[in-house]
Amino acid sequence: MALLSSNPLVLTLTSSNPSSAVKQSSSTTAASSTAPTANSTKGSSTSSSATAVPTSEFYSGCPAVNGDANTPMNAEASNSTYQINGTVLSYRIFCNTNFADYRANINPGVRDMQILYNIPTLNDCITECTSYNYALSTVEAPPWQLLCSGVGYASAEASSSDMVSCYLKSGLTNSATNLILPGSVGEVDSAVLQWPGVS
């Protein structure tokens, strides 16, 4: 099964993770040489760049992290949490879940904003979404509708590009519909930004 995707780049930014790059066209590949992993306790996790890199090209931690909170840490700010207007950016993880965008006719408000390739972990994918939001907040106080509200993290077998893919999404909520079908090939895991007043 392939994820549906588009790439209407609205904001160009540099990642807070200096070892990864943002994909801006279909012929460019993002790469990461270090992979933050989660310091996990059931119900929450934080990203830290001081731990070992998983040996797999695709690593999400699923199914063990299903339902956990993931709160990326900002290495450039003494490993404090990313915040926008006092709201800590934290994401709920949904294992084996593909919140496809509007073109699948099931989640009309969800849009794929950007696709990043060869991101080695779900935590890295979430950190890219968080970095996008943080960069946007330095220009203005963004409303939820403009934020990266979640990600889809797809193994090469499940991606339309045959590469590990990180889909940055807007309009994604916890109540979006999952598109994973029985017999699907590969793995897709997702994370949704937990924003006040949005469910």
| Binned average pLDDT, 10 residues per bin, the chain of 199 residues | 36 37 32 35 43 61 97 90 93 96 94 95 97 91 93 92 94 95 88 93
| Two structure tokens written together for 149 | 């509200």
Output the pLDDT for position 77: 85
Q: What integer pLDDT is reported at residue 34 of this predicted model?
A: 34
Exposed, middle or buried: residue 53 (CB in 10 Å: 0-12, 13-18, 19+)? middle
Query: What's this model's pTM, rounded to 2 decimal places?
Result: 0.73
Tell me how far apart the alpha carbons of residues 69 and 103 are, in angstroms, rounded to a whole number.
28
pLDDT at 35: 36
Q: Is 84 helix (H, G, I), strand (E, B) or coil?
A: strand
pLDDT (0 to 100) of residue 9? 33
Q: How far apart are CA 180 and CA 100, in angstroms?
A: 9
Residue with tokens 């609205």: 10
For residue 85, give both structure tokens.
């207007």
Kindly tell me the burial class for residue 85, based on how many C-beta atoms sit within 10 Å of its own C-beta (0-12, 13-18, 19 or more): exposed
pLDDT on residue 26: 29
pLDDT value at residue 139: 85
Is residue 13 within 8 A of residue 116, CB to CB? The reply is no
Residue ranges per domain, the chain?
Answer: 37-193
